[in-house]
Amino acid sequence: MTRSGFLAYLEVALVTMAAAMTAVLYGGFFTSRGYLPAVLGAAAGAAVLGVVTAVRRWRALTTLLVVLLGFVALAVGLVYRDTLDHGVPTVRTATSLGTGLLHGWARMLSVGLPADVTADLLITPVLVTFVATVASIALALRTRAVLAPAAPTLLALVIGLLFTASRPAAGLPVTAAYLLATLLLVVVRVIRLESQQAAAMLDVAPTPDPRRRRRIAGRIAFGLPVALVVAALGISGARFVPVASGTARFDPRTVTPRQFQVEDTLTPLVGLKSQLREQPARTLFTVQLDGTGIDRVRTAALDTYDGALWTSDDTFLVAGHTLPADPNLENPRQVRARIEIQDLTGPYLPVVGWPVQVGATGLGFSARSGVLVTHGPDVHGLGYDLVGTVAPDDAGLRTAVPNLTGDAVRDTQLPPGLPPELDAKARELTAQGSSPYAKLVAIQDYLRKLPYSLDARPGHSYDALRRLFGTNPQDRIGYAEQFAAAFAVLARDQGFPARVAVGYLLRPAARRGDTYTVTTADAHAWAEVDMAGYGWVSFDPTDFTVRPDPKQPDSNAPAGAPDKPGDPKNQGNQPEVVPGLTAGPGTGARILTGTLIGVAALIGLILLLVLSIVAGKFVRRRRHRRGSGAQRIIGAWRDSTDRLVERGIPVPRSLTAMEAARHAQDQLGESAGAVAVLAPIVTQAVFFPGDPPPDAVREAWELTRQFRRDLRRSGGVLRALRAWFDPRPLVYGWRDRRALRRALTDLQKG
């Protein structure tokens, strides 16, 4: 292998390495490294195809066909193996591949992160890596532009950064490795191109002599430190670039958010009383727990209050099996659960604590609230495994402060019109506490002293809550709806980020072994406050044992009253997903703009093809101008025959240059006069034993330019512009040109 050949393959290795670096970015997108074999395999396969097509110098159409077939084979083997029937592709293979290519982009922008490694999410990174590698290698081996091979992998890097913009991925180290590999590529490429150019000028093989070896070694010794310094400077300034920065990167999800669609429902807090009054109580679901200290499961978190209703302002993304953790929860413990639903109405699903894993597919999840949902109200028969995280109940909670960072501030807001009675009571109660947690406990303890009765008027508006703090004893009664809402309002009035949680109690009397049976009598509501380091801490302001008339206990007390009503902190309710267990019915999220994105991708591919044609013709024309005098005259003739092919006039190899010129004159008339003059010059260049004089070369190219001007005058500007995008010159007569070059070489050697 020559030195130049070794450097060319070193360029291929560096290009493949740069493409592989862009693939590592998706570690912030997926839950595991299971995506790496497919993406790195795509880079390796693309490198092999790129080298083969470049070395063989296949024409554009053949190269495109080989690359497409190669990608399909790699995609099926690396991504869609499960669709094969004994190793043979099926109809399902074709439909899965087509759907993945068409909707994979939209799916990646709509799924909750981190996402499971599935075929429909994996196909897009595989495609991006494959195309970037093939394009970079083609530019490295077929062009002389120094920076051209870096463009496709740079685009792949930007795409990877955009897809992982909302994740704390290792963007900076990956960018550093990519930048270093690219700079080394530039150094090697400059050395190789200069070596080839020097060899061409001396008309010798590109094997350097000792002096040239020393010069190459000197360039390498100078280029490597420069590459390292530039890479270090680029990384040190990367935090100022929105695309590369790990904290302020542009996220395409914020421009076109694709949400998991759920059926609109009335706030679940309103339906609390009707569930508690059902006779007999209806079994809703069972919870099998692998953990202790769990006394409730949450279904909904209501974070928006307009003075009349507590509602949810959540948005949901398609959930994978691994869910984003609560960023405000430090040192949590995990609880595993298995939930089997019999008669619960959706879309809200029971969870324990903050869910981090779920066994079902086709669900939606909110990374802001920790709420899990389905599409519609019918969830009968759904079963799923869950892993939840809960905060430790330690002494640190008593000294914790509320979390007021980021979006948590919005959870402290109240609408105008707060009754003065509520504001006064909030100030009075919190004045008793010496710490934030003590202030919240003071509000909880006061509300727990108020009488509990399902006969109280429903509602949790400002007016309904004002009655709890009025002077009339008959109005100062309520149930969980009013008490939970009142706690959240009083806490927010004092600057705490609070919300209302709706769910179900897990009562010891309904426990059989490690499984709880939950009924409508266990429906409940409580409040949660976001505490720094502890996440959403539960406060239960409802005491079922306090009655309006102690002599006549309220017979409507729910069967789900807890055995220890004084516990202020919810220890969590979250099950863990057990691998291998079957999940409930899977339903995909409705990606409203998937078709549009697919059409846009198709248009992009068409534009890429058109630009490739223009670039190929530009490179071809430059190649025609290089070489010896005879080769440049033949290049002028080939440029003219390309113009004939664009006009639909074939030039068979059976015709000599003179015969081709007469054929062109028969078709074009006077517009082909320049071709007739050029034909004898070409014939003389082919058969003349020596090199033609420089004047002959200049005349040949002047005749070619004249022919192009004559065609433009006769056909018009629009037709001339359309000819730029005509691919026929790239593929027509390829064998003729190859045979002519071989004949010219044989004549010169003879």
CB 587 within 8 A of CB 311: no
Q: What are 157's strand-pairing partners?
A: none
CA dihedral (683, 675, 647, 659) in degrees, to 10, reads -50
CB 358 within 8 A of CB 316: no
pLDDT range class, residue 277, cuts 50, 70, 90: very high
pLDDT range class, residue 594, cuts 50, 70, 90: very low
Token output for 599: 């059409």
The C-alpha atoms of residue 267 and residue 391 are separated, in whole angstroms, by 27
Q: Is the confidence at residue 107, as pLDDT, over 60?
A: yes
Q: CB under 8 Å to 424, separation ≥6 — which residues?
A: none
Q: Is the confidence at residue 617, as pLDDT, over 60?
A: yes
Question: E strands within 449-569?
Answer: 498-505, 511-512, 515-519, 523-531, 535-539
User: Measuring CA to CA, which residue among 492, 484, 444 is closest to residue 464?
Assistant: 484
Which secondary structure element, helix H or strand E, spans residue 300, and what is its range? strand 296-302
Per-residue model confidence as pLDDT tens digits over 480-517:
999 999 999 999 999 999 999 999 999 999 999 999 99
Which secondary structure element, helix H or strand E, spans residue 743, and what is its range? helix 734-749
Residue type for 507, please? Answer: R
The C-alpha atoms of residue 358 and residue 579 are separated, in whole angstroms, by 10
More reliable by pLDDT, 738 or 13: 13
The C-alpha atoms of residue 231 and residue 227 are separated, in whole angstroms, by 6
Q: Is the confidence at residue 128, as pLDDT, over 50?
A: yes
H runs (alpha helix) in 143-282 = 150-163, 171-202, 210-236, 272-276
CA dihedral (170, 173, 176, 178) in degrees, to 10, reads -60
Domain ranges of the chain: 3-255, 608-749
**Angle (deg, nearest 10), helices 91-110 and 594-624:** 100
CB 371 within 8 A of CB 365: yes
Q: What value, to the nearest 5°, has the Cα angle with vertex 540 and ends 538 and 541?
A: 140
As separate numbers, helices (DSSP H) first and strands (DSSP E) second, the chain gives: 21, 15
pLDDT at 702 (0 to 100): 87
Burial class (CB within 10 angstroms; exposed 0-12, middle 13-18, buried 19+) of 214 = exposed
Per-residue model confidence as pLDDT tens digits over 691-723:
788 888 888 888 888 888 888 777 766 676 667
The C-alpha atoms of residue 542 and residue 450 are separated, in whole angstroms, by 8
CB 219 within 8 A of CB 49: no
Which secondary structure element, helix H or strand E, spans residue 338, and what is its range? strand 333-341
pLDDT range class, residue 389, cuts 50, 70, 90: very high
pLDDT at 351 (0 to 100): 95
Residue in the structure block whose two tokens are 């009083």: 490
pLDDT at 213 (0 to 100): 57
User: Measuring CA to CA, which residue among 269, 299, 288, 295 is closest to residue 372?
Assistant: 299
In angstroms, the Cα distances linking 231 to 176, 180, 304, 429, 503 are 6, 6, 48, 59, 54
For 340, the 3-state DSSP assignment is strand
In angstroms, the Cα distances linking 203 to 6, 199, 358, 523, 628 are 20, 6, 69, 90, 10
pLDDT at 662 (0 to 100): 83
Per-residue model confidence as pLDDT tens digits over 31-66:
788 899 999 999 999 999 988 988 888 888 888 999
Per-residue model confidence as pLDDT tens digits over 133-188:
999 999 888 888 878 888 898 888 888 878 876 665 455 677 777 777 887 787 78
Token output for 415: 């609408």
Please report, in angstroms and rounded to a whole number, the separation of the first and last CA atoms in the chain: 27
Per-residue model confidence as pLDDT tens digits over 287-323:
999 877 899 999 999 999 999 999 988 888 888 788 8
pLDDT range class, residue 731, cuts 50, 70, 90: low
Token output for 549: 């008339």
Q: What value, to the nearest 5°, has the Cα angle with vertex 222 and ends 220 and 228?
A: 95
pLDDT at 550 (0 to 100): 54
In angstroms, the Cα distances linking 677 to 492, 624, 661 are 91, 19, 8
Burial class (CB within 10 angstroms; exposed 0-12, middle 13-18, buried 19+) of 198 = middle
Per DSSP, the residues of 445-456 read HHHHTS-B-TTS
